[in-house]
Structure 1
Amino acid sequence: AEEATLRRVGPDFFAAHSVADLAGRSGYWLGQQGRLTQPMHLAEGASHYTPVSWDEAFRIVAEELTALGSPDEAVFYTSGRTSNEAAFLYQLFAREFGTNNLPDCSNM
């Protein structure tokens, strides 16, 4: 299964593949490339994802969430394959943020 793969994709992969290139690939192909090794960001107007630090990734997420007019404008999606422990922590975060918008693959 893809979630158990040892394959990894890092900044070199994203430097070699533009967003347009990735959009043209199948979900199967994308999943076979491997798992992310660090946070990546697509800047407005950019054609490629670039690596960012964890601090920068959290700053970007916080900036986007605080810019919303209401917490209910956010949707916190998770996979049905998420562990119970991870899903529990994720829903705590969403509810603390102020929303119950927590769909997963079983109810979208």
Structure 2
Amino acid sequence: MKLFMLKSVGIAALMLISVLTGMQLANNGIHKMKGYDDPNFHQAVSLNDTDNHISASILGNDISSHDIEAKKKKLEEISAYNFFSSMGKKMSDGISNASENLIQKITK
């Protein structure tokens, strides 16, 4: 089971990298086709390293570790209640209990 999960995560990561690479290649192709640089087109993925500070940009949106930490703290403070998640848990518990009872009745 562990090997299956490892393979699945590896394949998902490979697919993500392939999609981002394809988007970058398509962006470069659009630049070559136009013949000039349009400031409205952004690089699909770009990494900038300046003075021990690495910043990343995906599809023109800047991402930094500070932003991620701030969002994580904000989510922890909110501790939002997800209605659909709780309904899904209740449904899965109900189905599990019903199937367990049915199996017990059949086997007796």
Q: If you compute each CA radius of gyration, which structure gives the higher value, 1 or 2?
A: 2
Query: Which structure has greater helix proportion?
Result: 2
Fold in common (TM above 0.5): no
Q: What is the TM-score with the length of structure 1 in the denominator?
A: 0.25
Query: Which structure has greater strand proportion?
Result: 2
Instruction: Flag the structure with more relative contact order, 1 or 2, with Cα contacts below 8 A and sequence separation at least 6.
Output: 1
